[in-house]
Amino acid sequence: MSQIHIVALAGSTRKDSYNKTLIRVAAQLAEESGARVTLLDLTNFPMPIFDGDLESGQGLPAKAAEFKRILDTADAFVIASPEYNASVSGVLKNALDWASRAGAVEGSVFSGKPALLLSASPGGLGGLRGLNHLRDILLNLGAFPFNQQLAIPSAHEAFEDGGLKDRLTHERLSQLIMEFGSYASKLQIQEPALR
């Protein structure tokens, strides 16, 4: 199977974000399973909050353009999304909104690309409700959100030394990454090659 290129990011800019830790674990597992991974940190892509007048006046901000160009190179996405008030974080929503606007690259950077949704949250549901919203958003952007996902509850106790404490959760994530990689690889096939 040809190597796929995954762009991985967390929907948080906090330095010690549980979701940053989670996306690093996921990115490493994806590399171990044979994918090429570009790990983005939204901290490095500060963008103004989207405003239609700002866009009309100045076009895509430089960091949004840079972000969009990197997303454009992806075959697939892995996103670890914190849950704020039963939805995605403002920083993730804003970055996805800018990346959905015209400019920097031609066409949609999401369309037809598989996306794996992960979350970690101190609460008992693990950020599940945020993933429901993220799934809706990615569907609207034309991506293929993978049918399975992983929401890790009690996130404040879930990580140790940059990894997942619980062996079963780690194995679940590892298995999920492999299945997602297989799904993403299949979707990447050009049809004539199938015949």
59 binds a copy of itself, rule: CB under 8 A: no
Q: Cβ closer to a copy of itself: 104 or 130?
A: 130
Number of helices (H), then strands (E), belonging to the chain: the values are 6, 8
- According to DSSP, the β-strands at 159-160 and 163-164 are antiparallel
CA 63 to chain centre: 18
Binding segment (CB under 8 A) for a copy of itself, from list 29-37, 43-51, 73-81, 164-172 = 43-51
Residue type, 120: A
Binding segment (CB under 8 A) for a copy of itself, from list 23-31, 71-79, 165-173, 187-195 = 187-195
Inter-residue contact 115 to 144 (CB < 8 Å): yes
Q: Measured from the CB of residue 104, what is the shortest distance to a copy of itself in angstroms?
A: 17
Angle at 94 between CA 100 and CA 22, to 5 degrees: 105
Q: Measured from the CB of residue 93, what is the shortest distance to a copy of itself in angstroms?
A: 5
Binders of a copy of itself among residues 70 to 129 (CB under 8 A) are: 84-91, 93-94, 96-97, 100, 125, 128-129
Q: Cβ closer to a copy of itself: 53 or 106?
A: 53
C-alpha 121/C-alpha 19 separation (Å) is: 8
Residue 158 gets which letter from DSSP? T
Residue 174, token pair as written in the block: 């590892």
Beta bridge partners of 77: 7, 115
Lay out the site mask for a copy of itself across 122-161 (x = CB under 8 A, - = otherwise).
---x--xx--xx--xx-xxxxxxx-xx-------------
C-alpha 36/C-alpha 47 separation (Å) is: 26
189 binds a copy of itself, rule: CB under 8 A: yes
Residues that bind a copy of itself (CB under 8 A): 1, 12-15, 17, 49-53, 84-91, 93-94, 96-97, 100, 125, 128-129, 132-133, 136-137, 139-145, 147-148, 182-183, 185-187, 189, 191, 194-195
